[in-house]
Structure 1
């Protein structure tokens, strides 16, 4: 589909090692051993396995406990993806090419959609990572005790930590390439656009979690049931409103950039938004963990999901291994560029995110005293722990 190969995308594709003209078809399959490097299939397998696990858990949760929250979260994330991503890949086809040029290009993976624009693992990473972050916050009881907004902020914070570990290594390993001079990518935080660090890592999952909890989760907590048609309808609403929320939440930074004419000003506001989320989330998560550890009343509503926590630990382990293998080239980089010509992310920020992610998993895993976890009456009937 050469008519969709804009000069910007063609240049990004060439730097990633494939031809825009030869990336064809709505769906394309490749040999996983013939990709750009060995890290691509490892990333694919890790993320897709997590998405499948999250979907299986969501279905089991719905069937056994009449709780559609995870189903709506999973498919709501997919709905969000289908609304947000295609216009970014084909701005001309959506009539926005005069305002938005190609912002980035993914490398080609084992399974790709939309003429090499959308790898299957990208489809999978939305519901996978949203589920991991949401479940950690849910296990800690934040939504039930602190409300929809505070819970959503905490989801955005946790998601940010998991996502940025991936975000800061992707360009170096040629998982994707950013358009460096695109105004919507400015300013850069090492190899990552600061808008991506804030919007796609923190604000979109916050928006999604807010909508899921507002339209489904809080009602399930109150014992309400939903019909199949209601679940489908609310999933669509969640996807649409989460997309709108992702446009609304960064407005202070967008307006700041427009009014000042400076991406530096916009970057400062983006960073300030992230700081606000962090300042709110950290004491809430710590407070909830401490409160649950001290509360030994068996009548207290408790929720556990050891399956997703174990997957989250596996995901972190894989990311750490990939980072370790990339360190020789990282430390050999000159002016932020490796000997192979690839940009490097921030190792310091990644280590901080790994620490937050590890502590988040540990907090969720130890939130409930061991003696209560073993007692059958320690979990409220509507929020029974997932089978291991």
Structure 2
């Protein structure tokens, strides 16, 4: 894979950090977290790695307590999806892919780097943490009770909300850099290509969820045990088949032509809007149904500690990160800060953050116990004493 560390890629990566083709490690490269490009790198790294660990713990608990390995399949399926996708992007030359696929972007160097220093560990954690978070939010609201396709779309929508808060900030803080000379990175929303806004933020997680629900979730819902080799191959298949599903879902933007950026932007925005148009009423209806159905709340028998707890932590940390980036953002000229980094869309990130907070509030209130949902002023009726037997 050394041939893929071209002078062009090294030059791209050096614009945001200290990457060097001469010092890469083939498997793992560990650096001093205090010696990175800026203090935000170890912060986002710790946040997402912690999220992946918490998501894994939650998935194992659900499998053991409820016999449902779906969360576990989502966690590992996301890792398989990454393993199929990311190396293809970074080692396109060795794989003989077209020139338009070379040097699409470059990550900065973080504390832990993998595979010739191309993939930071936090990116692996990102796939597992945010996909698991979006899946658990939708599951907690009963989003899979009606229709597996609708549930998958809801996961794509929720994932988009959290991901774009991160996606719109990363380039400014030197977490990664896009190569804007390539047609695949056009059109853009501020500094972020629309392929990331739509495909990576919404379509990919929806595709993975659909596959996991078809291969694993439906069997678990029927009470059929899924484990061992059966769970392994179903999880692997879920991750491996995501790219083909993405290719199908991307056809609307492909048919307008790679050179027609305006038409591609319109089509991709329509696709993003379609996710919202479908997901918002479904999530709202399921929230109302979950609150009204005490038996469903009783059957859940668990508090959404991972969804609400980690989701809230994610939003709080990114409010702080965005706040620290605001001075450079506001003084940027032509979409570029004085440090030479492109800015994202703050209005879009704020919209996503507010919507994500509303979704988390919905999960918290839908799962609250019956006594917490009693209207203020409602009287408690004590059970009548039973007559004692003679």
Task: State the TM-score, normalizing by the size of structure 1.
Answer: 0.92
Could you tell me which residue of structure 2 aligns to residue 349 of structure 1? 348
Give the deviation of 1:309 after TM superposition: 1.8
Counterpart mapping for 1:316-355 below 5 A:
316-355=315-354
Distance 1:211 1:72 in 2: 10
Query: Which structure: larger Rg?
Result: 2
Could you tell me which residue of structure 1 aligns to residue 59 of structure 2? 58
Structure 1 gaps, min length 5:
375-388
Q: Residues 171 and 188 (structure 1 numbering): CA distance in 2 closer, same or farther, change over 3 Å?
A: same
Residues 58-108 of structure 1: CA distance to partner in whole angstroms, max 9, x if unpaired? 122222322211111111000000001101001111111434211100000
Q: Residue 101 of structure 2: SS of its match in structure 1?
A: coil
Q: Residue 223 of structure 1: SS of its match in structure 2?
A: coil
Moved more, 236-245 or 132-141: 236-245
Give the deviation of 1:301 after TM superposition: 4.8
Could you tell me which residue of structure 1 aligns to residue 22 of structure 2? 22
User: Is residue 8–residue 101 contact of structure 1 (8 Å, CA) maintained in 2?
Assistant: no
RMSD between aligned alpha carbons?
A: 1.8
Could you tell me which residue of structure 1 aligns to residue 226 of structure 2? 226
Counterpart mapping for 1:70-149 below 5 A:
70-144=71-145, 146-149=146-149
Structure 2 gaps, min length 5:
374-390
User: Is residue 50–residue 128 contact of structure 1 (8 Å, CA) maintained in 2?
Assistant: yes
Distance 1:2 1:198 in 2: 31
Q: Residue 92 of structure 2: SS of its match in structure 1?
A: coil
User: Is residue 73–residue 212 contact of structure 1 (8 Å, CA) maintained in 2?
Assistant: yes
Could you tell me which residue of structure 1 aligns to residue 4 of structure 2? 4
Residues 33-66 of structure 1: CA distance to partner in whole angstroms, max 9, x if unpaired? 0000000000110000110111111122222322
Give the deviation of 1:3 after TM superposition: 3.1
User: Is residue 296–residue 369 contact of structure 1 (8 Å, CA) maintained in 2?
Assistant: no
Distance 2:236 2:21 in 1: 34
Task: State the TM-score, normalizing by the size of structure 2.
Answer: 0.91
Could you tell me which residue of structure 2 aligns to residue 306 of structure 1? 305
Moved more, 305-314 or 336-345: 305-314
Q: Residues 249 and 5 (structure 1 numbering): CA distance in 2 closer, same or farther, change over 3 Å?
A: same
Give the deviation of 1:295 after TM superposition: 2.6
Distance 1:180 1:149 in 2: 34
Give the deviation of 1:304 after TM superposition: 4.6
Give the deviation of 1:27 after TM superposition: 1.0
Q: Does residue 243 in structure 1 map to residue 264 in structure 2?
A: no
Q: Residue 28 of structure 1: SS of its match in structure 2?
A: strand
Could you tell me which residue of structure 2 aligns to residue 155 of structure 1? 155
User: Is residue 141–residue 283 contact of structure 2 (8 Å, CA) maintained in 1?
Assistant: yes
